[in-house]
């Protein structure tokens, strides 16, 4: 036993010594300036400096050490960039070097090691990207699905109106998540997650939250370099559990669809009808069955890609709407101005806001931008270098992790006047030089504001989000006023709703938004349509 201990200690000492040498060698080039950073500890590097909300820890470190930080997380070299200029250097000037993401053991386990969002920049990624942007999220499909989005939003509003009528408390966070969930599942597999009452609907929401949480965690056993089979924090055990639950949900949906497809084929053979693809699941199954497809898509790929889109679309959209509502409840002047704009444009109580009203609701659009500036649902763009490169005068080794801290950039007073103030008007004013074309947009062209990322690896769901977010917000504000209990979880008396965030890959509010709603519409049922589709569970 003692002998074993001596051997382990000896190996650990040799490992620390060698890794320090390698680390110094990598970053010792005399003609390259190494990004600044605090001193690292042996083995763990800078892990001890990081709190649960990584973007906040990095922000604090960059205030002290400058906007380009070099850190070591265990054995993994990392760079953190916290200005628009650096974001441009990494994501535009050196785009191809930073067009991949890091696969952690947890991500591999949950996503069958077959994901699109974590795939290297290569043929599989390009194939799914094309399918997603031209078909699922292409302009024709987005237009075709407008009716479905409208029905889903109306179902959501009518549920809230029922609760408002009887004075029931509403968990707005959960309701919005259901809505986002229903919209994306309708688009992907023509099913809805139901009204949220079934166990399985609840399971689907829980899995999504758990996925984004676990993807944002650092697996110490993985990053200190010698923990191949260790699972010090139990992350891999949790990942396997999430994977199993998700797999059960998805297998059921895919098997049902396969039965339906066989029946349709039989029918088509009999009556000579066509066999065209309907939704994303059909498109993916068609590709899997097509022996001559340019890229081989497996059943695991299908499940992983569905998980990618399902989680990416549900969590981000609902987080953005919730932060917008919380900011509005805390800023009654902005809320009043927004409701006035809606009343004027959609003539208050005769009809509900439509997506086509959005261009006439500039203040609502500005509220969305201001929300995404202060509370980007994905607070950091995380990429991996595929080769050694020089960026902003610094040598970045191959396989280094890059964090572009968009949360920090949105709060930097060098780029935003009174950055902590929630002031949507800033998006309606030209930047002091009278040129309206310089008003910052959120589409990845202005590096001060990158809520959807930028370039090839930028968010493929941006067009859908840009349609959904202002419309859903406008409808909630048109239909309801909010009554937040004075002393409720997430509210401190006199100081408004709290702004604490939950850790993870995304940054949702830590406490659910729970409040009573007061209807602002006299005869809501006359102007609401209802959903007509099969429930998912």
Site of interaction with ligand HEM (CB under 6 A): 117, 137, 184, 308-309, 312-313, 316-317, 320, 377-378, 381, 451-454, 457-461, 464-465
Between 56 and 491, name the residue whose CB sits nearer to ligand HEM: 56
Between 183 and 224, name the residue whose CB sits nearer to ligand HEM: 183
Between 116 and 416, name the residue whose CB sits nearer to ligand HEM: 116
| Smallest separation (angstroms) from ligand HEM to the CB of 356 | 20
- Phi/psi of residue 368, nearest 5 degrees: -60, -45
What does each C-alpha distance from 475 to 192, 324, 361, 520 come to in angstroms?
20, 13, 12, 11
Between 86 and 164, name the residue whose CB sits nearer to ligand HEM: 86
Kindly give the pairing relationship between strand 170-171 and strand 514-519: antiparallel
Q: How far apart are CA 231 and CA 6, in angstroms?
A: 23
* Angle between helix 280-289 and 235-271 (nearest 10): 80
- Element (DSSP H or E) covering residue 67: none
Contacts of 144 (CB under 8 A, 6+ apart): none
Between 363 and 452, name the residue whose CB sits nearer to ligand HEM: 452
β-bridge mates for residue 516, sequence order:
483
Between 160 and 320, name the residue whose CB sits nearer to ligand HEM: 320
| Smallest separation (angstroms) from ligand HEM to the CB of 145 | 11
| Smallest separation (angstroms) from ligand HEM to the CB of 112 | 16
What does each C-alpha distance from 454 to 59, 137, 442, 444, 464 come to in angstroms?
21, 17, 10, 5, 16
Between 186 and 394, name the residue whose CB sits nearer to ligand HEM: 186
What does each C-alpha distance from 360 to 275, 313, 475 come to in angstroms?
41, 25, 14
Q: How far apart are CA 123 and CA 126, in angstroms?
A: 5
Between 54 and 312, name the residue whose CB sits nearer to ligand HEM: 312
Between 43 and 151, name the residue whose CB sits nearer to ligand HEM: 151
Contacts 24+ apart (CB under 8 A), 50-53: 50/218, 52/503, 53/501, 53/503, 53/507
What is the b/e burial string over 132-171, where b = at least 16 CB atoms within 10 angstroms of the residue's CB? beeebbeeeebeebeebbbbbbbbbbbbbbebbeeeeebe
Q: How far apart are CA 157 and CA 55, in angstroms?
A: 34
Nearest to 163 by CA among 526, 522, 527, 515: 515
Contacts of 510 (CB under 8 A, 6+ apart): 490, 498, 500, 501, 502
| Smallest separation (angstroms) from ligand HEM to the CB of 315 | 9
Is 459 annotated to bind ligand?
yes
Find where tokens 């930073």 sit.
98
Binding residue ranges for heme: 459
Binding residue ranges: 459
């Amino acid at each position: 036993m003692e002998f074993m201990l001596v051997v382990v200690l000896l190996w650990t000492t040799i490992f620390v010594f060698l890794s320090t040498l390698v680390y110094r060698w990598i970053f010792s080039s005399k003609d390259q300036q190494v990004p600044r950073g605090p001193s690292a500890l042996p083995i763990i590097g800078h892990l001890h400096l990081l709190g649960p909300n990584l973007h906040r820890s990095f922000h604090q470190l960059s205030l002290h050490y400058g906007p380009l930080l070099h850190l070591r997380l265990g054995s993994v070299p990392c760079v953190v960039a916290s200005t628009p200029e650096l974001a441009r250097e990494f994501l535009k000037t050196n785009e191809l070097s930073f067009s991949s993401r890091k696969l952690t053991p947890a991500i591999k386990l949950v996503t069958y090691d077959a994901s699109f969002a974590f795939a290297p920049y290569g043929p599989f990624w390009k194939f799914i990207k094309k399918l997603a942007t031209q078909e699922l999220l292409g302009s024709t499909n987005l237009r075709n699905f407008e009716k479905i989005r409208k029905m889903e939003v109306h179902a959501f509003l009518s549920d809230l109106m029922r609760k408002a009528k009887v004075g029931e408390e509403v968990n707005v966070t959960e309701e919005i998540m259901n809505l986002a969930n229903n919209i994306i599942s309708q688009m992907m597999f023509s099913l809805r997650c139901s009204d949220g009452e079934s166990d399985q609907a609840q399971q689907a929401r829980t899995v999504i939250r758990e996925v984004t949480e676990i993807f944002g965690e650092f697996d110490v056993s993985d990053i200190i370099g010698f923990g191949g089979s260790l699972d010090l924090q139990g992350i891999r055990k949790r990942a396997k559990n999430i994977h199993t639950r998700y797999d059960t949900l998805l297998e059921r949906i895919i098997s049902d669809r396969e039965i339906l497809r066989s029946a349709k084929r039989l029918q088509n053979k009999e009556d000579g009808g066509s066999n065209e693809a309907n939704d994303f699941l059909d498109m993916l199954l068609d590709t899997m069955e097509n022996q001559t497809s340019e890229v081989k898509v497996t059943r695991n790929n299908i499940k992983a890609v569905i998980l990618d889109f399902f989680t990416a679309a549900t969590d981000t959209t609902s987080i953005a709407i919730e932060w917008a509502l919380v900011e509005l409840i805390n800023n009654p002047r902005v809320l009043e101005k927004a409701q006035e704009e809606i009343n004027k444009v959609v003539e208050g109580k005769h009809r509900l806001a439509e997506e086509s009203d959005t261009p006439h609701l500039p203040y609502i659009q500005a509220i969305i931008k201001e929300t995404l500036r202060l509370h980007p649902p994905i607070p950091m763009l995380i990429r991996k270098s595929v080769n050694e490169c020089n960026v902003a005068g610094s040598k970045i080794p191959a396989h280094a992790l890059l964090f572009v801290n968009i949360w920090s950039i949105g709060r930097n007073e060098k780029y935003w006047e009174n950055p902590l103030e929630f002031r949507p008007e800033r998006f309606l004013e030209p930047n002091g030089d009278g040129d309206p074309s310089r008003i910052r947009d959120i589409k990845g062209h202005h590096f001060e504001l990158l809520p959807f990322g930028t370039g090839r690896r930028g968010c493929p769901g941006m067009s859908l989000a840009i349609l959904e977010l202002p419309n859903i917000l406008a409808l909630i504000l048109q239909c309801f006023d909010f009554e937040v209990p004075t002393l409720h979880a997430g509210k401190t008396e006199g100081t408004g709703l709290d702004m604490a965030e939950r850790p993870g890959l995304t940054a949702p509010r830590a406490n659910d938004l729970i409040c009573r709603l007061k209807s602002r519409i006299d005869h809501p049922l006359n102007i609401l349509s209802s959903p007509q589709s099969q429930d998912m569970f």
